[in-house]
Amino acid sequence: MTSVARKKITQHEAEKRFSLITGSVSYDDLHDVDIVVEAVFEDMNIKKKIFAKLDEVCKQGAILASNTSRLSIDEIGSVTKRPEDVIGCHFFSPANVMRLLENVRGEKTSPRTMRAAMDFGKKLKKITILVGNCDGFVANRIMAFYTQEAIAMALEGASIEFVDKCAVKFGFAMGPFSMSDLVGIDLGGRQRETNGTADPSKNIGDLLYKENRYGQKNGKGFYDYILPEGAPKGARPRPAPSEFVSKSIQVIAANLGIKNRGKEITEQEVYDRLILPVANEGMRVVEEGITEKWSDVDMSVIFGYAFPKTRGGPLFYARQMGFEKVVERLQYFQQHSSTGQREYWKPSTLIVECVKQGEQDPDRAKKNMVKAKM
């Protein structure tokens, strides 16, 4: 449904906005622009070719931005003669709804470029945060564990509908599997296929990609999207459980030697496993100085992933739960989940420091930690 149909803006306003947009398929038309936001396939080679070309055609001082979700801004900027003008401007999907803009500073990005990108975000009425260059930046980096644990629970026998329902009960507008279908399974699938890490016998995302199940965009992903019979014109297809997906999950679980314990997985376990690894990684982000302050981590997922505002963000949630209890739960799942051996269950240095110091504020705990080392 369009914004006009939803009565968010008038027809006149929509026409006015469209009239401000012009299309072109020629690089020559970019010679005088102030900012370029590249948004082509998530493929480093293609991005490098494009940035080399942008470097040739754009005027001096133009901001060369990439909407990449996880590729290195330093590597993209390295093909230009002006890495100081290169920055990440990472929008979140769907970009007209999600208010977050992560501006990713590379090692050589100049303060002028950072300031311009922050002003650009403000002009677009985005919640704009400045973040460091690391794999996945902030929101995608920490929320990766939310998705990984959702898949792990499915492999352990929880149905994808149950996990999604729990996430909604926690306060998310949609569960992790519905979200993957919305964002598009092909994004990660294509990237893993390109870099040779895809394994459809062990990874459900890779299998769905191989089977052309890209999500809502082509009517099948973790769910089948079916238009009910007799549905009115313009009605949206509705998600329905897919037998193919549940069978594939069982096959992959067997390939990985994961035992079925679906009946034991409670609502509380789903909450803990979806949220606590995210909070733990959020602490690592703060520890590494990827964000200026811990509240930026919470802002990034509230406005980039619609993390329930009422929960205050993963770090606020962990703080409310009590860092000591969080460490205890992380250690419990380190021993009891099929993903327990993974690094993300290991309590981060900063959360352990918060417990040791009896400190509620991770920024202060970090400062104390640095002081103590001096």
Ligand X SMILES: NC(=O)c1ccc[n+]([C@@H]2O[C@H](COP(=O)([O-])OP(=O)(O)OC[C@H]3O[C@@H](n4cnc5c(N)ncnc54)[C@H](O)[C@@H]3O)[C@@H](O)[C@H]2O)c1
* Binding residues for ligand X, total number by CB under 6 A: 15
Nearest distance from C-beta of residue 267 to ligand X, angstroms: 28
Bridge partners (DSSP) listed for residue 226? 238
Based on CB atoms, which residue is closest to ligand X, 63 or 155? 63
90 is catalytic: yes
| Furthest CA-CA distance within the chain | 71
Task: Report the nearest approach of ligand X to the CB of residue 69 (Å).
Answer: 3
Could you tell me the end-to-end alpha-carbon distance of the chain, in angstroms, rounded to an integer?
58
- Residue among 58, 64, 65, 69 that touches ligand X (CB under 6 A): 69
Which residues inside 14-43 make contact with ligand X, applying CB under 6 A? 39-42
Among residues 206, 134, 199, 175, the alpha carbon closest in space to that of 305 is found at: 175
Q: 85-104: which residues touch ligand X (CB under 6 A)? A: 90-93
**Active-site choice (12, 31, 90, 336):** 90
Pairing mode, if any, of strands 35-38 and 63-66? parallel
Structure tokens that stand for 312 in this block: 């205050």
Q: Does 184 bind ligand X (CB under 6 A)?
A: yes
99 contacts 119 by C-beta, under 8 angstroms: no
Q: Which is nearer to ligand X, 14 or 44 (CB)?
A: 44
- Which of 46, 240 has the CB closer to ligand X? 46
The residue from 33, 46, 235, 254 that contacts ligand X (CB under 6 A) is: 46
The single residue among 67, 159, 248, 334 that binds ligand X, judged by CB under 6 A, is 67
Q: What is the DSSP string of 240-305?
A: EE-HHHHHHHHHHHHHHTPPP-GGG--HHHHHHHHHHHHHHHHHHHHHTTSSSSHHHHHHHHHHHH
User: Distance (Å, rounded) from C-alpha 192 to C-alpha 190?
Assistant: 6
Binding to ligand X in span 189-248, by CB under 6 A: none
Tell me if 149 contacts ligand X by CB under 6 A: no
CB-wise, 198 or 258, nearer to ligand X?
A: 198
Residue ranges that bind ligand X, judged by CB under 6 A:
39-42, 46, 67-69, 90-93, 183-184, 187
What positions carry a catalytic annotation? 90
